Chains A and B, each alone.
Chain A
Amino acid sequence: MSALFDYHALAPELILAFTVMAVLAVDLMPVPKYYAAVTGLVGLFASIIPLLTLALCSELSFCSDNGARLLFGDSYVVDTFSLVLKGLFLVSAFISLLLAVGYVESDRYYQGEYYFLLLASVFGAVVMASSRDLISIFVGLELVSGPAFLLAGWRKGDARSNEAALKFFIVGVLSAAILLFGMSLIYGVTGELTFSGIRAATVGGELPAVFTLGVLFVLMGFAFKVSAVPFHFWTPDTYEGAPTPVTAYLSVGSKAAGFVGLLVICYSAFANMRDIWGPALWIIAVASMTLGNLIAVRQTNVIRLLGYSSIAQGGFMLAPFAVASMVEGVELEGALFATVTYLLFYAFMNLGAFGVVMAGMSKVKSAELSSWSGMAQYAPGLSMLVVIFFFALAGVPPLAGWFAKLVMFQAIISGAPNVWAVLLGVIAAVNAVVAFFYYAKVVKTVWMDSVPVEIPAAELGGSGLNPALALALGITAIATIVTGLFPGVLSFFGEATRTFASGF
């Protein structure tokens, strides 16, 4: 890159950073508080525009296309991979913000700060997608987590919210410390901080055992972030105690940020270390999907159920990593493609599922599954959405989830002659069936059971949906159905990231 500062490449981040500050400024002005949310939504929309101009650079007259843009001494790279994931973060932030508006307004806590913290966290995620060195990815990750800790404890008069925040904080900071220790060991062995440098330094030669330890520590740090078993124990408690829109963001935005970190660091910095992280992530993937699903089966609270379901879904996303050590070339690209595509599909389904939970809670004032029974009798539209999102998460065609599962299984099977890949495929298949059981249990409770007698009939079906929540549900429902029927709409973006595995 030339000596000039590449403003075009950084435009999404710059717009988002200004939006974060503008939200804080609008909050101070004597205008209705929802203006802050509107500012945030406009800012998110505005920062998607430069993503499009960067992606279509070769087609545009004012833009000189030179492929991946390297900034700040190779430690910040804007390529197709990072553009796709930035798009994912911005769109899921847009939906998370829509989910939050009604909830935040109906509560008596600070509103402007909520939007500020949410956008700051998203800003961190966007930075992570482009980070290509240990320090910038760490700072990005902490920018994702820091505001998220505060968001989890946003209802500060509520003991449950406090508990959720404290558990999340202790585990989050502990994982950061472990991650950093791994990074310091890697730096000590290779003398490099940039991923390209580490990759170059690890070609061929024998590396000391302490380097392996560093790699494992880094994986452990990210495993906490993506709440993979055995580093998952904070997840259900934090999900249940935190405000529901925050939980929706944590299970999609914050989790996706962890996965992006893992993808970038595994496929670029540790590209020559696939023999270390492949088997390690095999174990974590199998443990996550199995334990997550088995515990989810016996949950009676819908939010906890979704918490364990997100652990299990994380296991499915980790599965393609596990075969990466067994395959080469196109199939290695396929493994990366499978994880990215799964993330893209999962974001819409899971945000929608949490939207449904919020709408359901506004009707029956409870997230206990027993109080949801018979909802179809007084809220048929909402119950239809329950069917759409929970069956999509289960992977029932023609809803979005089936394609995500399909590409995951394709990636696993590509390692087929290897007995470990076959075993992983079998375990994942069994888990997909177990998962169907508890998603279907929610649908069955809503449609087939009778309305609990203790709920007075007058309270039911009265209040209409908040318009922002309705819009969020509409977007996610349409996305879930359309991408289920035409998966190419989303998998196109996954395809665009393929070359990241083999390239640079």
Chain B
Amino acid sequence: MSVTPGWYMILAAVLFAIGASGILLRRNALVMFMSIELMLNAVNLTFVAAGRQLGTLEGQVSVVFVMVVAAAEVVVGLAIIVAVFRKRATASVDELSELRG
């Protein structure tokens, strides 16, 4: 039995679901952030698998863009998490509850 691009897409969907449940269930900002990275990489896998299936290059080109944007987001996100940590010495999002109403 050969591994067709379809299987990669299923794997990507599973990874995406794991990432999404990580966002919903975990309460540490860093872990939530890692879950989002997992979701972005699931997207990359889908793009590559689809590109392979279709025999076109756009899928792989898209992945490069997604990776660059994800890297930029890491920079922004870590900066914000560090700023929060300096102020409160915690990365738990449950303790960030000053703004409500």
Contact = CB atoms under 8 A, between A and B. Distances in A.
A183 B61 CA distance: 14
B81 A166 contact: yes
Contacts of A489: none
Interface in B28-42: 29, 32-33, 36, 39-40, 42
Nearest to B66: A180
Contact of A163 (B9, B72, B98): B98
Contact of A167 (B33, B39, B96): B96
Contacts of A160: 98-99
Interface residues of B, number: 45
Given A142-B72, A188-B50, A164 B99 contact: yes
Given A187-B59, A187-B62, A181 B42 contact: yes
Contacts, number: 127
A139 B83 contact: no
A173 B101 contact: no
Nearest to B24: A174
A178 B62 CA distance: 15
A149 B39 contact: no
Interface of A: 134-135, 138-139, 142, 146, 149-150, 153, 156-157, 159-160, 162-167, 169-170, 173-174, 176-178, 180-181, 183-185, 187-188, 191-193, 236-237, 240-241, 299-301, 304
B94 to A, nearest CB: 12
Contacts of B96: 162-163, 166-167
Interface in B18-73: 19, 23, 29, 32-33, 36, 39-40, 42-43, 46-47, 49-51, 53-54, 56, 58-59, 61-62, 65-66, 69, 72-73
A184 B43 contact: yes
B11 interface: no
B76 A169 contact: yes
Nearest to B91: A166
A185 B65 contact: no
A150 B98 contact: no
Given A142-B69, A177-B40, A156 B83 contact: yes
Contacts of A166: 29, 80-81, 84, 93, 96
Nearest to A194: B58
B73 A142 contact: yes
Contacts of B73: 142, 146, 173, 176
B62 to A, nearest CB: 5
